[in-house]
């Protein structure tokens, strides 16, 4: 298996792509690492940071000798990039990606693929609010899930090779259908981003409360939302355009629940409020227990004098 991964090409050296490159180097997952990016400014940083053995702006050149090609571009661009590079993949090469949406990606990529290349779609559920080649780091995927959604009939060896690669980066690999992936991520990632973007926009547009007041008094809860509302706009625009159905479905549920909660506030139904506010603690405990979140108060944000809180 391992000899198939002599050469790994990463296409798109943003936060995720550059983290994969750093991780592949740190954990020895590729003999030869190729970075492909269309942006001259990104290529320059890739070279300065020595993120790959070879860096090029040419897709054809970059993927030609690769055993594994990982597309780390916004999901809206994956189809076009796949169309352009597919003819240049060598026989037996595996194509993968890191897109946050899987149904539309499978549909956009598969028609371009030659029969002797496998496509193993992947989604590492990890990231930060920063973008670009300088923001990545080798441990980004440690103890994070990576979801694979191989189309039916995908060569098992190809799935095994991609699984081994992600496990090498420290991720836990799980396999599911593209449709189920898109539903799960709609509630655990897409709708949370949408309502974070939305409330930050609402706060910015108020005329009764100034922007300066919103900023000053943000420690009451608002600032937590601004982190994910600072994520890459292009990536997130594409997520909502390509996972429309699942997002609208989950947003419908969210709105129904919010309407019930609004009614409880309007009618002064303290028991209904208390009941929900008590239930929600259990979910966080589960997330902390599973190692997907810190138990430190306030996410462990640094304190002025370094003293710690209880718990």
Stretch that binds its own copies, among 87-95, 109-117, 153-161, 265-273 (CB under 8 A): 265-273
Overall size of the chain counted in residues: 311
SS3 148: strand
**193 lies in the binding site for its own copies (CB under 8 A):** yes
Residues 10-49 that bind its own copies (CB under 8 A): none
Distance between CA atoms of 79 and 106, rounded to whole angstroms? Answer: 9
Nearer to its own copies, 113 or 173 (CB): 173
The minimum distance between CB 170 and its own copies, in angstroms, equals 7
Residues with Cβ within 8 Å of 18's Cβ and at least 6 positions away in sequence, in order, are: 46, 49, 51, 132, 133, 134, 135, 136
| Strand arrangement, sheet containing 145-148 | 122-124, 145-148, 172-175
Number of residues that bind its own copies (CB under 8 A): 124
Among the residue ranges 30-38, 60-68, 152-160, 295-303, the one whose residues contact its own copies (CB under 8 A): 295-303
Per CB under 8 A, the list member of 61, 145, 154, 173 interacting with its own copies is 145
Does residue 233 interact with its own copies by CB under 8 A? Answer: yes
Using CB under 8 A as the binding rule, whether residue 185 contacts its own copies is answered as: yes
The number of beta carbons lying within 10 Å of the beta carbon of residue 230 is 15
Site for its own copies, residues 235 to 264, rule: CB under 8 A = 236-238, 240-241, 244, 247-248, 250-251, 253-255, 257-258, 261-262
Residue of the chain from 81, 96, 100, 155 that contacts its own copies (CB under 8 A): 100
Q: Which stretch binds its own copies (CB under 8 A): 55-63, 81-89, 159-167, 178-186?
A: 178-186
Nearer to its own copies, 60 or 290 (CB): 290
Nearer to its own copies, 160 or 215 (CB): 215
User: 43, 126, 161, 169: which one contacts its own copies (CB under 8 A)?
Assistant: 126
**Cβ-defined contacts of 79-82 (< 8 Å, 24+):** 79/105, 79/108, 79/109, 79/112, 81/11, 82/108, 82/109, 82/112, 82/113
Q: Which of 127, 150, 168, 178 binds its own copies (CB under 8 A)?
A: 127
Site for its own copies in 148-167 (CB under 8 A): none
| Residue 145 Cα distances to 175, 182, 184, angstroms | 10, 15, 13
Secondary structure of residue 147 in the 3-state scheme: strand
Q: Which of 3, 152, 153, 281 binds its own copies (CB under 8 A)?
A: 281
85 is a site residue for its own copies (CB under 8 A)? no
Torsion of CA 82, 8, 43, 60, to 10 degrees: -40
According to CB under 8 A, which residues from 47 to 76 bind its own copies? 76
* CA torsion, ordered 164, 168, 169, 172, to nearest 10 deg: 60
Which one, 15 or 94, has the nearer CB to its own copies?
Answer: 15
CA atoms of 191 and 247, how far apart (whole Å): 6
Q: Which one, 155 or 232, has the nearer CB to its own copies?
A: 232
Q: Is residue 115 near its own copies by the rule CB under 8 A?
A: no
Report how far residue 164's alpha carbon sits from residue 220's, in angstroms, rounded to the nearest whole number. Answer: 43
* Region of 63-71, 90-98, 154-162, 218-226 interacting with its own copies (CB under 8 A): 218-226
């Amino acid at each position: 298996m391992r000899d198939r991964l002599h050469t790994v090409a990463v296409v798109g050296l943003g936060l995720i792509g550059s983290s994969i490159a750093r991780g592949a180097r740190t954990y020895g997952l590729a003999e030869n690492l190729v970075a492909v990016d269309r942006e001259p400014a990104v290529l320059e940083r890739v070279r300065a940071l020595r993120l790959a053995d070879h860096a090029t702006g040419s897709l054809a050149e970059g993927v030609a000798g690769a055993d594994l090609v990982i597309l780390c571009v916004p999901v809206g661009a994956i189809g076009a990039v796949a169309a352009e590079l597919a003819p240049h993949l060598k026989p037996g090469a595996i194509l993968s990606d890191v897109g946050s949406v899987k149904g539309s990606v499978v549909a956009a990529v598969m028609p371009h693929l030659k029969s002797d290349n496998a496509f193993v779609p992947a989604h590492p559920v990890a990231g930060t609010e920063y973008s670009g080649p300088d923001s990545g780091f080798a441990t980004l995927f440690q103890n994070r899930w990576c979801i694979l959604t191989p189309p039916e009939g995908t060569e098992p060896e190809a799935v095994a090779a991609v699984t081994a690669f992600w496990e090498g980066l420290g991720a836990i690999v799980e396999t599911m259908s593209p449709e189920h992936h898109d539903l799960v991520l709609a509630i655990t990632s897409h709708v949370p981003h949408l309502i974070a973007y939305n409330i930050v926009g609402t706060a910015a547009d108020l005329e009764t409360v100034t922007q300066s007041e919103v900023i000053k008094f943000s420690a009451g809860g608002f600032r937590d939302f601004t982190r994910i509302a600072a994520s890459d706009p292009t990536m997130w625009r594409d997520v909502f355009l390509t996972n429309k159905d699942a997002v609208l479905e989950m947003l419908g549920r969210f709105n129904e629940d919010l309407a019930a909660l609004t009614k409880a506030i309007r009618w002064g139904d303290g028991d209904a409020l208390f009941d929900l506010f008590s239930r929600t603690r259990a979910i966080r405990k589960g997330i902390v227990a599973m190692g997907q979140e810190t138990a430190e108060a306030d996410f462990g944000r640094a304190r002025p004098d370094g003293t710690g809180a209880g718990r």
